[in-house]
Structure 1
Amino acid sequence: MMIKNIFLMIVLLSFNHVFSQMGINTPNPRGILHVDGQKDNPVTGTLFTPIQQSNDILVTNTGSVGAGTHSPAVKVDVRNSGNGAIGFGTSALTAAAADEGAIRYNNRVEYSNGNEWLPLLTAQPVTNKVIVIASKTNNNVKLITPAAATTTTGLQNRQSNYLVGWTKTFESNSGTSFNATTGVFTAPRNGVYIASFTTDMSSLAINYTVDPLNPIQIEAIWQLYDNTIGLTPANIVNTVKCVNTMSSNSIGNIDAGSNCTASFYMTAGQRLMPYIWFNLNNSDLPNLSLNNTGGYNNLTIAEQ
């Protein structure tokens, strides 16, 4: 009986050893599963040439897969000295159904973020991303609302000064998304846009006595409008404000600068426009000026 039990244990151990690693077309598997496509691997030993590895598929004991390599560094590794390309199939699944991280080929390589299919950054997009760069070297503004017909040549204290009359230095794609004359950017398609602008008021604009109820401040503001043609308060979708404040006794040769950078999700046709509001002098002096030298007043809009 003892001899029979010992024999059974030897059989079981041998069976477990045989099936702990499986080789197809090779008696010398290097992983849990090893397929030798050309049956050209050595029968024994651990030295395999790159050519011998190039037609192999290997699954390691950690669950990594190597196609053409016996040393996968990641979960799926096809890097080798042969034709180590990866082919992706098409898919009609929605991005949500495929879940985030899924990859497909649909006239280009796309990945799912869980909400939508997006082109890989390494792929050439169907349309070039919009980038706008502009500068402002004049004092042209529209007051209160950009729908107003009159453009003034000076900025007004305690009023909304919509910045118009830009000089466009660069715009990619069609070159028609930003109207430099009106200062209005129109989104050509749905997407995320990062918008930034800076302004600097002439130092002579600051002339304020102590007034704790009305602190000295300048606000840089982005206003997002709907995709109609109106630029009235009824058309406003969103407003983002960035505020800079100064000491209440700031007076004389001190610049009042501000900037605002914000991200917007815009649908095609929605409009974006910058303006500033400031409280820099208690006498409401009219026709104040920007610091129009030194490149202080700039605008950049970039589609993501």
Structure 2
Amino acid sequence: MNKKMIIVVLGGMHGFFSPVNAQTGIGTSNPQGILHADGARDNAATGTPTAAQAANDFIISKATGFLGLGVLEPKVKLDMRSVGSENALGLNTTMMSAASAGAGAIRYDVINAPAGAKIEVSDGSVWNKAYVAPQKAVVVARKITSQSITQGSATNIGNWSVVRDMSNSFDANLGVFTAPRDGTYTFLLTFNFNGIVINDGSRVESQFYNTTTNTVLASVYKTFGQSMTGTSDDANATRSTQAGGSSTVTLTLNAGAKVVTRLWHNLISSGAVTLRVTSNSTDPTNPDDGFNNLTIIEH
């Protein structure tokens, strides 16, 4: 039996039809499916096209009837996962009810306020917005270099060593956290000073400060009594005492709000007090490690 190839001209577009294989090629004489259009006409005359050549093709699989856009062997009814970078699927809105569209239908809703434009999926009764959870902000930082905190004035805590920053929202050098979106954030600050002789009735104030509006959003006080007096073995000298504590606040922030942690104290009459840090930051078991930490969690 003679095999014949019939060439069809459709409005200036060349097509190739093989009655033996029951395959039609448009722009290619080597169709790989029931219907195969080679958009760039770059497929070879024989053999299987490369993934790059197939990226501009349209094909209906002869085995499954599935439609492939840039994919020679579509795995689902519509498969467009080609090697190219232009694989977006365009959707528009519809005024059809979810029941009329049927369960599993999807649309791009641009009308439903105030949530704004969203992809919606029909469950057969109502349109439900497809929600993609963002990466929540989680910051864990610690101090491994000391810092002097001036008596009587609030000092920004900076030069942190970042352990984790899930959303790249924390400037470790300045100690400034930028809220990635409107939401609720919890800040946990722990602090510890080197030993000093402290004044009776002194206090340390942890401040959570908005650097854009120059306002204190929240503050936590911790008071301290006079340093203990030593025994006769210490010549009754007043002993040094380490002042420390922790502060936890939960703040509602707008996207872009910038918050820095600050410390204020009047532990001594004048001068500055230094934060206690580890003498060996590479040793996590060092007993001096872990006293000054900052954790920020987005809810």
Q: TM-score, normalised by structure 1?
A: 0.49
Query: As a proportion of its length, which structure holds more helix?
Result: 1
TM-score (norm 2): 0.50
More strand by share: 2
